[in-house]
Amino acid sequence: MSFKERYGSRMSFLLYISNYIVPFILFYIIGYGLLSKVAVFHEFTEGAKDGFKVVMGIMPTIIGLMVAVGVLRASTSLDILASLLKPVTDLLRFPSELLPLVTIKSLSSSAANSLLIDIFKEHGPDSYLGRLSSIIMSCTETIFYTMSVYFVTAEVKKTRYTLHGAIFATIVGVIASTILTNLIFY
Amino acid sequence: MLNYLWAFMIILGTAVGIVTGNIEPVSNSIISSAKEAVTLCISMLGVMSLWMGVMQVAKACGIIESLTRLLRPIIRLLFPDIPKDHIANEYIASNIIANVLGLGWAATPIGLKAMKELAKLNNNSETASCDMCTFLIINISSLQLIPVNVIAFRSEYGSINPAEILGAGLVATMISTIAGVLFSIIARRLSNNSKV
């Protein structure tokens, strides 16, 4: 029996759980809020106002980066890059289209978001690439940006094994995403 | 970081567009991408505001506070060099919880406070302490429970079930965090041994 046959059907419960996560969180928090006599709807609307501030705050960044990714896509740069990377990624059994996404994610979250959107547009969010990239984006963080902001604050110059650990965790996350995507969806 | 990255993307894209004779699609996409970015932000407003609203309720009824308290023993285990009642424990716990709940903009200021406390404990040395390394590796391993923006993008681009990736994403995040934690523990052991 192959690995896939043995574990594939058991892993599909994750798909089932996915549908419960968001409703459950709402149910739990609102229910708990009611029991603790919190004015839940008032608090909700107060918090939702901040959502506007957050989105308005990142809008200039999104406009700039979506234009940049649009230029890369329309000029066929992304296709050229993917075909250049193909020999390497085939060896790793990883889709070459997603390597730029993983690399950019280590530098900037918002640039990676624009590439993610580009993948959704090109291949659809429910395609293999769309699903895999969604899962990769949920289990990785910006490496270099986070390290520079935090270590500059602490005035640290020698970062020792931080970078190794961060890259290790990211690679494990990407491998786990690839295996999970194959097991659950295909 | 974005300064160079953004300029590089635009310049490379335009140059390749000229060389490959695709300058017309490039020109069109500049205009349409800017427009699309605004449409995307408008549709993100819904999911983002919903999430922030629910998190405000969680804060008001003390769920976030009790989650932070639940984390205390784990923090003690992962950061053995921080004195037991030091404020750094508190900051690290709040930072981790804010990250788990997808409140990134709230997480960073607390995280930076934690880093400053860790620097004091490290006598403001230029070399990172083991606790700093652990803190950053865990942060970078990604802790987010629900990738709110990924869900918003999936729904905007026509996914039949935008939430279907949540289960897998959750497991992948846990695996990467466990990998980061194990790495930190082993690296700490090795560096303590080499000091002795």
Residues of A in contact with B119 (CB under 8 A): 153-156
Q: What is the pLDDT of residue A4?
A: 63
Per the model's pLDDT, the better-predicted residue between A19 and A5 turns out to be A19
The answer to whether the CB atoms of B144 and A162 lie below 8 A apart is no
> What ipTM goes with this model?
0.90
How many beta-carbon pairs under 8 angstroms link A with B? 368
List chain A domain ranges: 39-185
- For residue B30, the SS3 value is helix
Q: What is the pLDDT of residue B170?
A: 94
Q: What is the pLDDT of residue A53?
A: 87
The answer to whether the CB atoms of B61 and A67 lie below 8 A apart is no
pLDDT tens for residues B145-158? 889 999 999 999 99
Residues of B in contact with A108 (CB under 8 A): 1-2, 5
Q: Is the pLDDT of residue A1 over 80?
A: no
Listed by number, the residues of chain B in 93-122 with a beta carbon closer than 8 Å to a beta carbon of chain A are 105, 108, 111-112, 115-116, 118-119, 122
Q: Is the pLDDT of residue A10 over 70?
A: no
- How far apart are alpha carbons A3 and A173 in whole angstroms? 19
List chain B domain ranges: 1-49, 62-195
Q: What is the pLDDT of residue B193?
A: 82
Residues of B in contact with A153 (CB under 8 A): 112, 115-116, 119
> Percent of chain A, pLDDT > 90?
69
pLDDT under 70: residue ranges of chain B: 1, 195-196
- Please check whether residue B146 touches A, CB under 8 A: yes
Q: Which own/partner contact pairs does B158-164 have at CB distance under 8 Å and 24+ positions apart?
A: B158/A124, B158/A125, B159/A120, B159/A124, B159/A125, B159/A126, B159/A130, B160/A126, B161/A18, B161/A19, B161/A126, B162/A125, B163/A18, B163/A19, B163/A21, B163/A22, B164/A15, B164/A18, B164/A19, B164/A126, B164/A131
Query: What is the least distance, in Å, from the CA of A29 to any CA of chain B?
Result: 6
Query: What is the least distance, in Å, from the CA of A186 to any CA of chain B?
Result: 13
Residues of B in contact with A150 (CB under 8 A): 111-112, 115, 132, 135-136, 139
Model-level pTM?
Answer: 0.90
Residue listed under structure tokens 């075909």? A83
The answer to whether the CB atoms of A126 and B41 lie below 8 A apart is no
- How far apart are alpha carbons B46 and B39 in whole angstroms? 12
Query: What is the least distance, in Å, from the CA of B103 to any CA of chain A?
Result: 10
- Please check whether residue B85 touches A, CB under 8 A: no
pLDDT tens for residues A49-95? 988 888 888 899 899 999 999 999 999 999 999 899 999 899 888 99
